[in-house]
Every structure is written in C-alpha cells, then in structure tokens.
C-alpha cells in the first residue's frame, strides 16, 4: 500500500514541518514519484516502531476496511507462545522459529526459512526494545485459511543488528492468507507493541495466558477507539 504526504499528516497528526524533519533527520522511508513523496505502508510501520513514533488509530483505517473483531488475538492463539527457542545467531534462531510454526505437511519450511533469511541478510527486522518481526519485503502470504502469529521467546538474547543496539529475545512471525489481512495484523501489532504494560509482560517472559490476555484487552480497546465509542486508552 502506497501512501501520500496528506495521508501521513492525517495518520500521525503532526505538522508538515515535523514530517519533513522526520524525513531529513530520522530517515523516514519514502520514494519520489513525479516530484511527490510516496510512502510504503509496511516500511512506515517498521520505521515508526524503530524510532518510537506514536501511531494513531487512523493508521488502522488505512489497512482494514472489512476486518473487524480480534483478528490479531485469534491469530496469536493459532500460532501460540513458545519459550526457550534455541540458537546462537540470527540464522539458527530463524530456523528454530520456522520449526515451531503451525504449518501443514505440504508447506516447505526450508523455503520459508530461505525467504526470511534473505530478508534478514539485507536489513534487520528488529524493531527495538528486544523485539524483532521476521518477514520478507512482501508480506508472507500462504495457502492457509486463517492468519497465524507466533510469539517466540529466545533462550538467549541474540544480536539482530537493531538500531537501538539492544539484543533481541522476542520474535513475532506473521503468516497471512492475503496481503490485506497481513497489513491489518501488522498495524494492530505495531499499536500493541507501543503499550508499556504489554512490553513489561513481554520483557518478563510472562506466562502464555497473560501474554494472550493482554493482547486481547488491548485489541478490544483499540476496536472501541477505532469505532468512535471511546478513547481506547487503558489505565496502567
């Protein structure tokens, strides 16, 4: 999905001067087409997470017109939470993560790993705060009926070449049946990962039930905000 400058002003709710400053000083990703700025939706979410840029619920409206309900929470239940994933480097960790993904026997795990590793070799998928979201440049769209999101806590922190230089010990992997669904889930995941309480749960390797419950609560409040029935903000 390609966004224009006016879209960026709306979803971030900041001035043109601020956007230009982000482009000049914070390496906000863009391309020039006919002397106009264009922004890639996925690259923009990555950049916002890496730079602790606040995301507003308006971002959801760009990615999910027909999706309602707990699409992220349900995808997390399908993928589940996994602990003590072993590996001494990024390559070994990604192989281990692919090994726990709930894929059918017909799916080629080696091919999926090769796609993830090719992406990781070009640029790190770490988004800061000890978290990485392995994915390819184009969304991972597979022949599955429902989206799947796995949470993997690593046995030992690994250097993922993160911008904040913090080692990674939590990986989220998103598998989707469509590009639109992938974008919707990625947007919701980006919003949730800005929540201090959730980050505290993750940093303390909370039990599976607590992790899933907190995502469910956050997504519920996000839907309330998105539908205009509240502010979507919870108490700490």
pLDDT at 231: 45
Mean pLDDT within 198-211: 92
CA distance 42 to 158: 24
Q: Is the pLDDT of residue 40 over 90?
A: no
pLDDT at 227: 59
pLDDT at 91: 94
Q: What's the fold here for domain 71-226?
A: Mannitol-specific EII; Chain A (3.40.930)
Can you tell me whether residue 2 is helix, strand or coil?
A: strand
Work out the pLDDT band at 15, boundaries 50, 70, 90: very high
Work out the pLDDT band at 233, boundaries 50, 70, 90: very low
pTM: predicted TM-score of the whole model, two decimal places: 0.73
Instruction: Please tell me if the domain spanning 2-54 has the same topology as the one spanning 71-226.
Output: no
Mean pLDDT within 113-138: 84
Is the C-alpha dihedral spanning 153, 157, 160, 161 positive or negative? positive
pLDDT tens, position by position, 135-156: 755 666 667 788 899 999 999 9
pLDDT at 234: 46
Q: Is the pLDDT of residue 67 over 90?
A: no
pLDDT at 166: 93
pLDDT at 167: 96
* Residue of higher predicted confidence among 142 and 206: 206
Q: Give me the phi and psi of 68, to 5 degrees please.
A: -135, 165
pLDDT at 139: 60
**Of 104, 226, 122, 234, which Cα lies nearest the Cα of 175?**
104
Mean pLDDT within 90-94: 95
Q: Give me the phi and psi of 80, to 5 degrees please.
A: 70, 175
Look up the CATH architecture of domain 2-54. Answer: Orthogonal Bundle (1.10)
- Greatest mean pLDDT range, 25-39, 156-170, 176-190: 156-170
Least confident of 140-154, 185-199, 204-218: 140-154
Q: Which residues pair with 151 in a beta bridge?
A: 81, 172
The domain limits of the chain are 2-54, 71-226
């Amino acid at each position: 999905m390609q966004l224009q400058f006016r879209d960026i002003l709306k979803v971030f709710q900041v001035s043109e001067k601020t956007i230009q400053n982000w482009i000049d000083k914070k390496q906000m990703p863009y391309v020039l087409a006919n002397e106009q700025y264009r922004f890639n939706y996925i690259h923009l979410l990555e950049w916002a997470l890496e730079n602790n840029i606040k995301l507003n619920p308006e971002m959801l409206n760009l990615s999910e017109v027909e999706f309602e309900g707990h699409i992220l929470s349900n995808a997390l239940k399908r993928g589940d939470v996994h602990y003590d994933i072993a590996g001494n480097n990024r390559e070994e960790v990604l192989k281990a993560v692919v090994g726990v993904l709930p894929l059918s026997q017909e799916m080629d795990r080696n091919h999926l790993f090769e796609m993830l590793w090719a992406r990781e070799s070009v640029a790190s998928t770490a988004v800061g705060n000890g978290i990485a979201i392995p994915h390819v440049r184009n969304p991972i769209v597979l022949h599955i009926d429902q989206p799947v999101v796995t949470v993997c806590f690593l046995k030992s922190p690994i250097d993922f070449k993160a911008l904040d230089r913090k080692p990674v010990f939590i990986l989220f992997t998103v598998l989707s049946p469509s590009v639109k669904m992938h974008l919707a889930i990625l947007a919701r995941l980006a919003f949730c990962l800005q929540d201090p309480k959730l980050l505290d749960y993750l940093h303390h390797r909370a039990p599976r039930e607590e992790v899933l419950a907190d995502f469910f609560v956050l997504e519920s409040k996000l839907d309330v905000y998105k539908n205009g029935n509240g502010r979507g903000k919870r108490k700490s």
